[in-house]
Protein backbone atom coordinates (compact mmCIF):
# COMPACT_ATOMS: atom_id res chain seq x y z
CA UNK A 1 0.00 0.00 0.00
CA UNK A 2 0.98 3.67 -0.28
CA UNK A 3 1.83 5.58 2.91
CA UNK A 4 3.18 9.10 3.48
CA UNK A 5 5.99 8.60 5.96
CA UNK A 6 9.09 9.84 7.71
CA UNK A 7 11.86 7.38 8.66
CA UNK A 8 13.43 9.83 11.12
CA UNK A 9 12.38 13.11 12.68
CA UNK A 10 13.45 16.21 10.77
CA UNK A 11 13.54 14.63 7.30
CA UNK A 12 11.28 15.50 4.37
CA UNK A 13 8.39 12.98 4.32
CA UNK A 14 7.75 10.91 1.22
CA UNK A 15 5.15 8.58 -0.25
CA UNK A 16 6.39 5.00 0.14
CA UNK A 17 5.27 1.46 -0.69
CA UNK A 18 4.88 -0.45 2.60
CA UNK A 19 3.14 -3.70 3.69
CA UNK A 20 -0.54 -3.43 4.60
CA UNK A 21 -0.95 -3.62 8.40
CA UNK A 22 -2.88 -6.27 10.33
CA UNK A 23 -5.09 -5.22 13.27
CA UNK A 24 -4.02 -6.34 16.73
CA UNK A 25 -6.23 -6.97 19.78
CA UNK A 26 -8.72 -4.13 20.25
CA UNK A 27 -7.91 -2.61 16.85
CA UNK A 28 -9.66 -2.26 13.50
CA UNK A 29 -8.16 -1.85 10.07
CA UNK A 30 -9.60 1.03 8.08
CA UNK A 31 -9.55 1.55 4.33
CA UNK A 32 -8.93 5.26 4.39
CA UNK A 33 -10.95 7.58 2.17
CA UNK A 34 -9.75 10.98 3.41
CA UNK A 35 -7.51 12.47 6.08
CA UNK A 36 -7.50 15.99 7.49
CA UNK A 37 -4.18 17.80 7.93
CA UNK A 38 -3.33 19.68 11.10
CA UNK A 39 -0.54 21.99 12.21
CA UNK A 40 0.42 19.17 14.57
CA UNK A 41 1.49 17.11 11.52
CA UNK A 42 4.24 19.68 10.89
CA UNK A 43 5.36 19.40 14.52
CA UNK A 44 5.35 15.59 14.22
CA UNK A 45 7.72 15.78 11.23
CA UNK A 46 10.12 17.90 13.26
CA UNK A 47 9.83 15.69 16.35
CA UNK A 48 8.30 18.55 18.36
CA UNK A 49 4.78 17.17 18.88
CA UNK A 50 3.56 16.10 22.34
CA UNK A 51 3.43 12.48 21.19
CA UNK A 52 6.44 10.91 19.46
CA UNK A 53 5.84 7.46 17.94
CA UNK A 54 8.99 5.54 17.05
CA UNK A 55 9.94 6.07 13.35
CA UNK A 56 9.13 5.10 10.71
CA UNK A 57 5.94 7.13 11.18
CA UNK A 58 3.00 7.33 8.80
CA UNK A 59 1.69 10.86 9.23
CA UNK A 60 -1.95 11.92 9.50
CA UNK A 61 -4.03 12.30 12.66
CA UNK A 62 -7.58 12.55 11.32
CA UNK A 63 -8.50 9.70 8.93
CA UNK A 64 -11.99 8.77 7.82
CA UNK A 65 -12.98 5.67 5.90
CA UNK A 66 -14.53 2.21 5.97
CA UNK A 67 -13.78 -0.48 8.56
CA UNK A 68 -12.00 -3.20 6.59
CA UNK A 69 -11.14 -5.79 9.25
CA UNK A 70 -11.73 -6.34 12.98
CA UNK A 71 -8.94 -7.34 15.34
CA UNK A 72 -9.39 -9.87 18.15
CA UNK A 73 -11.81 -8.83 20.86
CA UNK A 74 -13.48 -5.98 18.94
CA UNK A 75 -17.25 -5.65 19.27
CA UNK A 76 -19.81 -3.01 18.43
CA UNK A 77 -18.31 -2.24 15.01
CA UNK A 78 -18.78 -4.02 11.69
CA UNK A 79 -16.79 -4.32 8.46
CA UNK A 80 -17.94 -1.74 5.93
CA UNK A 81 -19.01 0.73 8.63
CA UNK A 82 -18.08 4.38 7.98
CA UNK A 83 -15.99 5.94 10.77
CA UNK A 84 -13.60 8.77 11.59
CA UNK A 85 -10.64 8.34 13.93
CA UNK A 86 -8.49 10.62 16.06
CA UNK A 87 -5.02 9.12 16.28
CA UNK A 88 -1.48 10.40 16.81
CA UNK A 89 -0.44 9.08 13.37
CA UNK A 90 -1.29 6.64 10.58
CA UNK A 91 -3.95 8.47 8.57
CA UNK A 92 -2.06 9.38 5.39
CA UNK A 93 -2.11 5.88 3.92
CA UNK A 94 -4.41 3.60 1.98
CA UNK A 95 -4.97 1.44 5.09
CA UNK A 96 -4.35 1.95 8.79
CA UNK A 97 -4.91 0.10 12.08
CA UNK A 98 -6.35 2.06 14.99
CA UNK A 99 -7.85 1.39 18.45
CA UNK A 100 -11.52 0.53 18.07
CA UNK A 101 -12.45 2.84 20.94
CA UNK A 102 -11.15 5.83 18.95
CA UNK A 103 -13.52 5.17 16.04
CA UNK A 104 -16.54 7.46 15.79
CA UNK A 105 -19.36 6.18 13.51
CA UNK A 106 -20.42 8.75 10.94
CA UNK A 107 -23.94 10.00 10.26
CA UNK A 108 -25.21 8.95 6.83
CA UNK A 109 -25.34 12.58 5.73
CA UNK A 110 -21.66 13.30 6.54
CA UNK A 111 -19.16 12.91 3.71
CA UNK A 112 -15.67 11.57 4.34
CA UNK A 113 -14.23 14.96 3.43
CA UNK A 114 -16.38 16.69 6.05
CA UNK A 115 -15.53 13.98 8.60
CA UNK A 116 -11.79 14.38 8.01
CA UNK A 117 -12.15 18.14 8.51
CA UNK A 118 -14.49 17.97 11.48
CA UNK A 119 -13.27 16.19 14.57
CA UNK A 120 -10.09 17.98 15.66
CA UNK A 121 -10.99 21.52 14.58
CA UNK A 122 -14.55 21.59 15.91
CA UNK A 123 -13.71 19.38 18.88
CA UNK A 124 -10.87 21.66 19.95
CA UNK A 125 -12.90 24.85 19.75
CA UNK A 126 -16.06 23.47 21.34
CA UNK A 127 -14.38 21.81 24.32
CA UNK A 128 -12.00 24.74 24.84
CA UNK A 129 -14.72 27.39 24.78
CA UNK A 130 -17.34 25.49 26.79
CA UNK A 131 -15.53 23.15 29.18
CA UNK A 132 -12.27 25.03 29.68
CA UNK A 133 -13.08 28.75 29.35
CA UNK A 134 -16.79 28.69 30.20
CA UNK A 135 -17.71 31.20 27.48
CA UNK A 136 -21.02 32.87 28.37
CA UNK A 137 -23.72 34.37 26.19
CA UNK A 138 -23.07 38.10 25.73
CA UNK A 139 -19.32 37.90 26.40
CA UNK A 140 -16.75 39.08 23.88
CA UNK A 141 -14.59 36.39 22.28
CA UNK A 142 -11.35 37.39 20.54
CA UNK A 143 -10.16 34.77 18.02
CA UNK A 144 -6.59 34.96 16.73
CA UNK A 145 -5.78 33.14 13.49
CA UNK A 146 -9.50 33.31 12.78
CA UNK A 147 -9.33 31.95 9.22
CA UNK A 148 -7.26 28.87 10.10
CA UNK A 149 -8.35 25.31 10.78
CA UNK A 150 -9.29 25.74 14.43
CA UNK A 151 -9.70 29.51 14.44
CA UNK A 152 -12.55 29.45 11.96
CA UNK A 153 -14.46 26.89 14.03
CA UNK A 154 -13.93 29.06 17.13
CA UNK A 155 -15.64 31.95 15.33
CA UNK A 156 -18.52 29.71 14.29
CA UNK A 157 -18.98 28.07 17.70
CA UNK A 158 -18.51 31.35 19.58
CA UNK A 159 -21.41 32.86 17.65
CA UNK A 160 -23.55 29.78 18.23
CA UNK A 161 -22.88 30.10 21.98
CA UNK A 162 -24.10 33.71 21.90
CA UNK A 163 -20.81 35.59 22.14
CA UNK A 164 -19.78 38.78 20.34
CA UNK A 165 -16.86 37.63 18.18
CA UNK A 166 -13.82 39.67 17.15
CA UNK A 167 -11.84 37.88 14.43
CA UNK A 168 -8.17 38.54 13.73
CA UNK A 169 -6.58 37.36 10.47
CA UNK A 170 -4.09 38.46 7.83
CA UNK A 171 -5.52 40.25 4.80
CA UNK A 172 -8.94 40.95 3.35
CA UNK A 173 -9.47 37.48 1.85
CA UNK A 174 -9.00 35.67 5.17
CA UNK A 175 -11.10 38.23 7.02
CA UNK A 176 -13.89 37.67 4.50
CA UNK A 177 -13.89 33.95 5.38
CA UNK A 178 -14.13 34.80 9.10
CA UNK A 179 -16.94 37.24 8.38
CA UNK A 180 -18.87 34.52 6.55
CA UNK A 181 -18.45 32.30 9.64
CA UNK A 182 -20.26 34.92 11.75
CA UNK A 183 -17.62 37.30 13.12
CA UNK A 184 -19.05 40.61 14.36
CA UNK A 185 -15.82 42.61 14.07
CA UNK A 186 -12.72 42.09 11.91
CA UNK A 187 -9.11 43.09 12.62
CA UNK A 188 -6.39 42.83 9.97
CA UNK A 189 -3.22 41.73 11.75
CA UNK A 190 -1.12 42.96 8.81
CA UNK A 191 -2.21 46.58 8.98
CA UNK A 192 -3.84 47.26 12.38
CA UNK A 193 -2.49 47.49 15.91
CA UNK A 194 -4.16 44.50 17.58
CA UNK A 195 -4.04 45.86 21.12
CA UNK A 196 -5.50 49.25 20.22
CA UNK A 197 -8.15 47.80 17.92
CA UNK A 198 -9.44 45.37 20.56
CA UNK A 199 -9.42 48.04 23.26
CA UNK A 200 -11.40 50.35 20.98
CA UNK A 201 -14.02 47.57 20.74
CA UNK A 202 -14.19 47.35 24.54
CA UNK A 203 -11.71 44.54 25.20
CA UNK A 204 -12.14 40.76 25.31
CA UNK A 205 -13.53 38.40 27.95
CA UNK A 206 -12.10 35.26 26.32
CA UNK A 207 -9.13 35.03 23.96
CA UNK A 208 -8.73 31.98 21.71
CA UNK A 209 -5.08 31.81 20.63
CA UNK A 210 -3.67 29.19 18.23
CA UNK A 211 -0.96 31.65 17.11
CA UNK A 212 1.22 32.71 20.06
CA UNK A 213 4.08 35.17 19.56
CA UNK A 214 3.45 38.91 19.56
CA UNK A 215 -0.29 38.46 19.00
CA UNK A 216 -0.56 36.72 22.37
CA UNK A 217 1.20 39.66 24.04
CA UNK A 218 -1.14 42.20 22.42
CA UNK A 219 -4.26 40.18 23.23
CA UNK A 220 -3.17 39.76 26.85
CA UNK A 221 -3.02 43.52 27.26
CA UNK A 222 -6.43 43.98 25.64
CA UNK A 223 -8.21 41.45 27.86
CA UNK A 224 -10.75 42.67 30.41
CA UNK A 225 -10.37 42.00 34.15
CA UNK A 226 -11.19 38.35 34.96
CA UNK A 227 -10.65 37.46 31.31
CA UNK A 228 -9.59 33.98 30.21
CA UNK A 229 -6.92 33.33 27.61
CA UNK A 230 -6.94 29.92 25.89
CA UNK A 231 -3.52 28.72 24.73
CA UNK A 232 -4.34 26.47 21.76
CA UNK A 233 -1.05 26.44 19.83
CA UNK A 234 1.88 28.37 18.43
CA UNK A 235 1.43 28.69 14.66
CA UNK A 236 3.72 31.74 14.72
CA UNK A 237 6.57 29.50 15.84
CA UNK A 238 7.10 31.53 19.02
CA UNK A 239 5.99 30.38 22.46
CA UNK A 240 5.09 33.51 24.46
CA UNK A 241 6.52 34.21 27.88
CA UNK A 242 3.71 35.28 30.21
CA UNK A 243 4.24 38.26 32.54
CA UNK A 244 2.71 37.04 35.80
CA UNK A 245 2.35 40.59 37.12
CA UNK A 246 -0.32 41.32 34.48
CA UNK A 247 -2.23 38.20 35.50
CA UNK A 248 -2.16 39.40 39.10
CA UNK A 249 -3.13 43.03 38.47
CA UNK A 250 -6.00 42.24 36.08
CA UNK A 251 -7.12 38.95 37.69
CA UNK A 252 -6.56 37.08 34.43
CA UNK A 253 -6.45 33.33 33.80
CA UNK A 254 -4.26 31.69 31.14
CA UNK A 255 -5.64 28.23 30.29
CA UNK A 256 -3.69 25.60 28.40
CA UNK A 257 -5.72 23.34 26.13
CA UNK A 258 -4.71 20.12 24.33
CA UNK A 259 -7.73 18.34 22.87
CA UNK A 260 -6.03 14.97 22.45
CA UNK A 261 -5.10 14.89 26.13
CA UNK A 262 -8.76 14.41 27.09
CA UNK A 263 -8.65 10.93 25.53
CA UNK A 264 -6.46 9.91 28.46
CA UNK A 265 -7.81 11.74 31.53
CA UNK A 266 -11.40 12.79 30.72
CA UNK A 267 -12.68 10.94 27.63
CA UNK A 268 -16.30 11.44 28.67
CA UNK A 269 -15.95 15.23 28.27
CA UNK A 270 -14.61 14.76 24.75
CA UNK A 271 -17.34 12.27 23.86
CA UNK A 272 -20.12 14.55 25.09
CA UNK A 273 -18.65 17.44 23.14
CA UNK A 274 -18.51 15.44 19.90
CA UNK A 275 -22.10 14.28 20.36
CA UNK A 276 -23.23 17.90 20.63
CA UNK A 277 -21.22 18.83 17.54
CA UNK A 278 -22.66 15.95 15.49
CA UNK A 279 -26.16 17.04 16.51
CA UNK A 280 -25.38 20.54 15.27
CA UNK A 281 -24.05 19.07 12.01
CA UNK A 282 -27.20 17.00 11.50
CA UNK A 283 -29.27 20.15 12.05
CA UNK A 284 -27.23 21.98 9.42
CA UNK A 285 -25.92 24.42 12.02
CA UNK A 286 -22.22 23.85 11.31
CA UNK A 287 -20.33 22.81 8.18
CA UNK A 288 -16.57 22.36 7.84
CA UNK A 289 -14.81 24.83 5.57
CA UNK A 290 -12.41 22.85 3.35
CA UNK A 291 -10.29 25.24 1.32
CA UNK A 292 -8.15 22.56 -0.35
CA UNK A 293 -8.96 18.93 -1.22
CA UNK A 294 -5.86 17.23 -2.66
CA UNK A 295 -4.81 13.67 -3.58
CA UNK A 296 -2.36 11.61 -1.50
CA UNK A 297 0.38 12.20 -4.10
CA UNK A 298 0.26 15.96 -3.36
CA UNK A 299 0.46 15.70 0.44
CA UNK A 300 3.82 17.51 0.61
CA UNK A 301 2.32 20.43 -1.32
CA UNK A 302 -0.71 20.39 0.99
CA UNK A 303 1.51 20.56 4.09
CA UNK A 304 3.25 23.59 2.61
CA UNK A 305 -0.12 25.36 2.54
CA UNK A 306 -0.29 24.90 6.31
CA UNK A 307 3.36 25.85 6.87
CA UNK A 308 3.00 29.07 4.87
CA UNK A 309 -0.45 29.77 6.37
CA UNK A 310 -1.95 30.18 2.90
CA UNK A 311 -4.98 27.95 3.50
CA UNK A 312 -8.25 28.83 5.17
CA UNK A 313 -10.26 26.39 7.25
CA UNK A 314 -9.04 22.83 6.66
CA UNK A 315 -6.81 21.12 4.12
CA UNK A 316 -7.96 17.54 3.41
CA UNK A 317 -6.17 14.74 1.59
CA UNK A 318 -8.38 12.48 -0.52
CA UNK A 319 -6.90 8.99 -0.30
CA UNK A 320 -9.65 7.01 -2.05
CA UNK A 321 -12.82 8.10 -3.85
CA UNK A 322 -16.06 7.75 -1.87
CA UNK A 323 -18.33 4.87 -2.89
pLDDT band at 322 (very low <50, low <70, confident <90, very high): low
Does residue 280 sit within a domain?
no
pLDDT at residue 316, rounded to an integer: 98
pLDDT at residue 7, rounded to an integer: 96
* b/e 233-258 (16+ beta carbons within 10 angstroms → b): bbbbeeebeeeeeeeeeeebebeebe
Return the closest-CA partner of residue 118 out of 314, 273, 271.
314
Same domain, 151 and 114: no
The mean predicted confidence, pLDDT, of the chain is 95
Does residue 271 sit within a domain?
no
pLDDT at 108 over 80: yes
**Sheet containing 14-17: which strands, arranged edge to edge?**
14-17, 2-6, 57-58
pLDDT at 88 over 90: no
Residues 6 or more apart whose Cβ sits within 8 Å of residue 159: 165, 181, 182, 183, 184
Same domain, 174 and 113: no
Q: What span, in angstroms and rounded, lies between the C-alpha atoms of 99 and 71?
A: 9
Does residue 283 sit within a domain?
no
Residues 6 or more apart whose Cβ sits within 8 Å of residue 212: 231, 233, 234, 235, 236, 237, 238, 239, 240
Does residue 308 sit within a domain?
yes
Residues 6 or more apart whose Cβ sits within 8 Å of residue 255: 128, 132, 133, 228, 229, 230, 231
pLDDT at residue 160, rounded to an integer: 96
Q: What span, in angstroms and rounded, lies between the C-alpha atoms of 155 and 165?
A: 6
The CATH code of the domain that includes 144 is: 3.40.50.720
pLDDT band at 321 (very low <50, low <70, confident <90, very high): confident
As a whole number, mean pLDDT of residues 247-259 equals 97
pLDDT at residue 183, rounded to an integer: 98
Same domain, 132 and 235: yes
Sign of CA dihedral 124, 130, 136, 137: positive
Percent of the chain residues past pLDDT 70, beyond the cut? 99
Does residue 267 sit within a domain?
no
Single residue among 245, 260, 275 that ends a domain in this structure: 260
Calculate the CA 74 to chain-centre distance.
28
Beta carbons within 10 angstroms of residue 80's beta carbon: 10
Q: What span, in angstroms and rounded, lies between the C-alpha atoms of 168 and 190?
A: 10
Same domain, 80 and 203: no
Same domain, 129 and 225: yes
Does residue 282 sit within a domain?
no
As a whole number, mean pLDDT of residues 44-72 equals 94
pLDDT band at 50 (very low <50, low <70, confident <90, very high): confident
pLDDT at residue 323, rounded to an integer: 58
pLDDT at residue 43, rounded to an integer: 93
Does residue 194 sit within a domain?
yes
Does residue 265 sit within a domain?
no
pLDDT band at 94 (very low <50, low <70, confident <90, very high): very high
Q: Which residues constitute the domain of residue 168?
A: 121-260
Q: What is the number of domains present in the chain?
A: 2
Same domain, 255 and 160: yes
As a whole number, mean pLDDT of residues 9-32 equals 97
What DSSP string describes 70-117? EPTT--S--TT-EEEE--SS--SBSEEEEEGGGEEEPPTT--HHHHHT
Q: What span, in angstroms and rounded, lies between the C-alpha atoms of 137 and 164?
A: 8
Same domain, 31 and 135: no
Same domain, 10 and 94: yes
What DSSP string describes 218-233? HHHHTEEEEEEEEE--
Same domain, 113 and 196: no
Same domain, 109 and 178: no
* Per-residue model confidence as pLDDT tens digits over 200-241: 999 999 999 999 999 999 999 999 999 999 999 999 999 999
As a whole number, mean pLDDT of residues 236-250 equals 95
As a whole number, mean pLDDT of residues 130-143 equals 98
Same domain, 128 and 236: yes
Single residue among 242, 260, 278 that ends a domain in this structure: 260
pLDDT at residue 51, rounded to an integer: 83
The CATH code of the domain that includes 21 is: 3.90.180.10
Same domain, 74 and 168: no
Single residue among 260, 277, 303 that ends a domain in this structure: 260
Amino acid sequence: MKAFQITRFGETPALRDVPSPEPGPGEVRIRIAACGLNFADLLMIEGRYQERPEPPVTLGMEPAGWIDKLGPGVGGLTPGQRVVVHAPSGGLAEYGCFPADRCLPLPDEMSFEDAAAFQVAYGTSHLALTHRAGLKRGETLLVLGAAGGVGLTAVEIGKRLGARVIAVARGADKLSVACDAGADHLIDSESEDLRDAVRTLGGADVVYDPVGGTQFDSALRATRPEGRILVIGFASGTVPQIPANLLLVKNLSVLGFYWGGYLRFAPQALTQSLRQLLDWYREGGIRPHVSNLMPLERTQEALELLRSRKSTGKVVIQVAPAE
